Every structure is written in C-alpha cells, then in structure tokens.
Amino acid sequence: MERFKKFWSLFITFFKISAFTFGGGYAMIPLIQNEISERKKWLNSEEIFSIVIISESTPGPLSINAATYVGYRVAGFWGAFFATLGLIIPPFTIITIISYFFHDFMQFTFIQNMFKGIQAAVSILILDAALKLSKKIEKGWFAFVLIGITFILQILIDAFAWNFSSVYFILAGIFLGLFYYSLLNNVKGRKK
C-alpha cells in the first residue's frame, strides 16, 4: 500500500507539473524544483541541477528525462514509469484535442492573444530557471568564459539565422569540461 501511494504521488505530481506548464522542459524546471525539492523533499536542490544536466545530455525531451530520472530515484522502475506517464498524459490529451480543431481554433483573436501571453510567461519561467541554475555553477574563470562565448555565439546564430543545433554547445561543453577539469586534476595531483 505504501508503494502504491508513492507511485500515485509521483504520477499526480508530474501530472500537475505538466498540466500547468506551457513551453516545454525549461519552463518546467522551476515547477519541478518547487515540487520535488521544496515541497516533497524527494531530492535536494543540487540533485535538481544534476537532473537538468543529465536530462539535457541524454536523448529525448528534457521534461520526460527529468520525470523518468526523478521517478526512478524515488521508487525504482515503476516510479519512473508512473512519473513519466503522469507527465505525458496532459500534453498528449491537449494536443490530440487541439489537432482536430487547430485551424478553426487559431482563427479567434482571443486564442491568438492568449498564446502571446503564454509566450511571455514562458520566457520568464525559462529566465527564472536559468538564473536558478546559474547559482549552482562552479564559479571561476572557465565557467564565465564558457558562458560568455556560448551567449555571444547564440546571439550571432540567432541574428544571422544560421542553421546550428544547440546540441553542439552541449557537446562542446562536455569535451571542454572533460579537458579542463582533467588537466586541472592532473596539475593538482602533481603538486601533492
């Protein structure tokens, strides 16, 4: 009975997060952090930061990867299953319904204005997630240089409408981090 309560709690938690979030995975990060770390105390805030890194580094949408990871950490395989199921049902249902009426649906000025408002709110949620994640980054020249270069490159890519996937930024971060921190650890090892 206790395991069922945990599965149900995971399902309902991710169902709520998914049902009340527009804009995908990044917009969900503040809600995931609030529900998982602050309210439920399933994971601490450092683990939430790790979830984002792991979810971005593995194939698939960030939100689904995060739900699967949290579910697995909290209640194993079935926890991952129910957390992921809870996250998938709201958008699947909404998209299925909207797909039947989308063309007619978007003719209404009210709906168009509603979507503009949602876009503005989502951008703030993503900015909030970025600010919270930036507090967890190890402070040092390497991190600031990497952030600065990535920021400038992203602005240039957007300004000139170049076809460039953000996956390359992630891969570059992985390899540069491996190189820099391996080199740093070797230097520290030699000093001992």
| Planar angle of CA 91, 122, 146, nearest 5 degrees | 110
H helix intervals, 24-61? 25-32, 45-57
Euclidean distance between CA atoms 57 and 136, whole angstroms:
17
pLDDT in tens, the chain (192 residues): 788 899 999 999 999 988 887 666 677 878 888 888 888 888 887 787 788 778 777 777 888 888 999 999 999 999 999 999 999 999 888 888 877 777 777 778 887 788 788 777 777 877 777 777 777 777 788 888 988 998 899 899 888 888 888 788 888 888 998 888 888 777 777 766
* pLDDT digits 0-9 by tens, 48-77: 778 877 877 777 788 888 899 999 999 999
Residue 79, pLDDT score? 94
Residue 34, pLDDT score? 84
Euclidean distance between CA atoms 148 and 38, whole angstroms:
31
Euclidean distance between CA atoms 27 and 8, whole angstroms:
24
Residue 15, pLDDT score? 94
Show Cβ contacts of residue 116 under 8 Å, excluding neighbours closer than 6 positions: none
Judged on CB neighbours under 10 Å (0-12, 13-18, 19+), 129 is buried
CB atoms within 10 A of CB 143: 14
Domain boundary assignment for the chain: 2-136, 138-192
Question: Full-prediction pTM beyond 0.95?
Answer: no
| SS3 label, residue 160 | coil
